[in-house]
Amino acid sequence: MSIIPKVIVTEEQWLQKGIEQFAQSGIDGLVIEKMSTELGCSKSSFYWYFKNRIEFITRFIHQWAERTTQQVIQNSSLHEREEDQITSMLTQMFSATGKGDFLFYFRKLSKETPVFEPTLAAIEQTRMKYAQQLFEKVGMPSEIAEQKSSLLYHYYLGWYERHKHESITEEDSHRHIEMLRAQLLGI
């Protein structure tokens, strides 16, 4: 008789699974039993890392925000020229498709569960503030930079909704980014 080895699943694997499931199905996709089966572990391992589902959701939302907001900021900041930082930001924003609909489900969750509203607001404010700062660096007055960052972010939300299930070619992405650069920067 052989003994089945116990599968050890890390906290990181649980968080990644939460991000993936939430992006595909929202709150309805966060069924602990189903996720544990997909991870090949027992349901009890979930409770080793998380007290409850709310803590789990809170933690994977913060991890998602770190990846999708802070990573864009860090990668864009690596460039010396402000115009290159803006191009990098736009490239990262408008080439991320085909990965589900995390932001849509997060916006929906924050309306249904108000405890998440401040987190959503903070993430979106961070994104718009960063764009505003970049626009100010290239010489735009603060008020104009703020307006353009708001327009850009709201445009992004609509654009992403339209293309979230598609793969965007590098050529299409480049053409789109050049059009945005021309409109935003007057280049």
pLDDT at 33: 93
Tens of pLDDT, residues 156-167: 988 888 877 777
Residue 148 lies in a domain: yes
Residue 33 lies in a domain: no
Q: Domain containing 124: what range?
A: 60-185
Instruction: Supply the CATH number for residue 79's domain.
Output: 1.10.357
pLDDT at 145: 97
pLDDT at 1: 52
> How many domains are there within the chain?
1
* Residues 145 and 135 sit within 8 Å (Cβ to Cβ): yes
pLDDT at 63: 95
* Residues 127 and 103 sit within 8 Å (Cβ to Cβ): no
pLDDT at 93: 87
Residue 158 lies in a domain: yes
The helix-helix angle for 102-112 and 117-137 (nearest 10°) equals 130
The string of DSSP codes covering 3-70 is PPPPPP--HHHHHHHHHHHHHHHGGGG--HHHHHHHHTS-THHHHHH-SSHHHHHHHHHHHHHIIIII
Closest C-alpha among 92, 97, 94, 100 to residue 72: 92
79, 119, 175 from 82: Cα distances, Å: 7, 28, 20
CA pair distance 31, 45, nearest whole angstrom: 14
Residue 25 lies in a domain: no
Residue 106 lies in a domain: yes
Tens of pLDDT, residues 124-170: 999 999 999 999 999 999 999 999 999 999 999 888 888 777 777 88
Residue 36 lies in a domain: no
Q: Which residues in the chain land under pLDDT 50?
A: 3-5
pLDDT at 6: 60
Residue 119 lies in a domain: yes
Residue 30 lies in a domain: no
CA pair distance 101, 78, nearest whole angstrom: 28
pLDDT at 99: 67
